[in-house]
Amino acid sequence: MRMFQQIAMAAVGALTLSIVAPAGSAGASPLREQDDTVTVAGVEIACRLTFPAGTPQGAVLLLPGSLFSDVDGNYPTMNLKPHLYADLAAQLGERGYAVLRMAKIGPGTGSRTLDPQAAARHAQFATRADVAAAGLALLRKSAPAHPLIVAGHSEGALVASMLASGADAQAIDGVVMLSGPATRIFRLMRDQLVAMSPSGTGADMTTYDQTIAAIRAGEPLPAAAGANPQTAMLAAMPAFSVDYLRSTDRVDPVAELARVRQPVLIIQGGEDASVPPAHADSLYQGRGKLPTELARFPGLTHFYKVAPPGISPMQSMALDTVSEPAVAERIASWARRFSM
């Protein structure tokens, strides 16, 4: 995604229970939703469980990408409401799967800081895998169904790789990479900035490159960083957020996914302006002979919306239509193989 990470803690989540109808399925049996929380390193994180009408045919842990997202996959601080995670949960629930979706900690997302000193650990990207592990434990307790699939969106795809190759590997039957990047975060950001430059003009990336070199080395940023539009947001970030980015950049997504021994499904939208289709190709090639499938959806965006012709990247992010159910169907049909 087009994102500059900032981590902050705010807002309180409440325990609720609701009945919802699956998206796009008038007359179908309703789904049941239940709110819960997990607490990791001094932060309480909002979660929402979706249960199908009958006995679950499997369970899916849905891990969020970057930015401050709530459990539905909306971004309150940006006033963007793609609701991808709510759509996927409903669509997978309609197909018989229990789904746990999680907020990404930050303002307006339902997370809250319980212990500020312990919460400092969230400045390290590895803590995201700890949060995912807590979500996995909650899902296994609440919906002990087989197969158990971990699906991560955007940056969350990298977290899914880390979780699936770690201590919980034996509990996980398969991994779904939803628009996951294949390059380290600073390279992804650089490519996004170049793509945003006016057509036919060469972007001068000198200040950006110098700024990133300083961040990687833990050195003061160049004087020009604050005035350059490519780096102004980086220069304004608190040390906590810069530390998070630095630790994220140390992780190579292709190498991380290559460590995953479970079957992997890579899903990619052809109109994804945030993580372009070439990333899916690199992830797929990096798997070598490991069991891997690549599912392409040519007309879909980063949030799996149908992209109108001529839409800009920012307009793409602002689409609030229902996410294409064919993505959930592809995940469900792939996951069914593990229960045969």
Which pairing describes strands 43-51 and 112-113: parallel, antiparallel, or unpaired?
antiparallel
Task: Provide the residue count of the chain.
Answer: 340
Q: With 50 as the cut, is the pLDDT of residue 181 above it?
A: yes
| Mean pLDDT, residues 43-49 taken together | 98
Q: In sequence order, which residues have a C-beta less than 8 Å from that of residue 153 and are 6 or more positions away?
A: 62, 63, 64, 65, 73, 84, 85, 178, 179, 180
Dihedral, 264, 47, 99, 268 alpha carbons, nearest 10: -40
| Res 58: pLDDT | 97
Residue with tokens 């087989």: 146
Is residue 93 pLDDT above 50, yes or no?
yes
Q: How many helices (H) and strands (E) does the chain have?
A: 12, 10
Q: What is the pLDDT at residue 127?
A: 98
Please tell me whether residue 191 adopts helix, strand or coil conformation. helix
Beta pairing class for 58-63 and 97-102: parallel
Provide the percentage of residues in the chain whose pLDDT is more than 70. 90
C-alpha atoms less than 13 angstroms from C-alpha of 277 in its C-beta half-sphere: 12
Angle, alpha carbons 178-182-186 (nearest 5°): 115
Amino acid 198: pLDDT: 72
Instruction: Return mean pLDDT, the chain.
Output: 91
What are the DSSP E strand ranges found in the chain?
17-20, 31-40, 43-51, 58-63, 97-102, 112-113, 148-153, 174-178, 264-269, 292-297
| pTM score, whole prediction | 0.91
What confidence tier does 23 reach under pLDDT thresholds 50, 70, 90?
low
pLDDT tier, 340 (very low <50, low <70, confident <90, very high otherwise): low
Q: Is 95 helix (H, G, I), strand (E, B) or coil?
A: coil
Give me the residue spans of the domains in the chain: 17-184+252-339, 186-245
Q: What pLDDT, in 10s, does the model give residues 217-267?
A: 999 999 999 999 999 999 999 999 999 999 999 999 999 999 999 999 999
Tell me the CA distances in angstroms from 132 to 56, 100, 122, one per residue in order. Answer: 21, 11, 13
CATH superfamily, with its number, for domain 17-184+252-339: Alpha/Beta hydrolase fold, catalytic domain (3.40.50.1820)
Work out the widest C-alpha separation in the chain, in whole angstroms: 61
Of residues 19 and 124, more confidently modeled:
124
pLDDT band at 16 (very low <50, low <70, confident <90, very high): low
Read off the pLDDT of residues 100-141 as tens digits, 9 standing for 90 and up: 999 999 999 999 999 999 999 999 999 999 999 999 999 999
Q: What distance in Å separates the CA atoms of residue 193 and residue 187, rounded to the nearest whole number?
A: 10
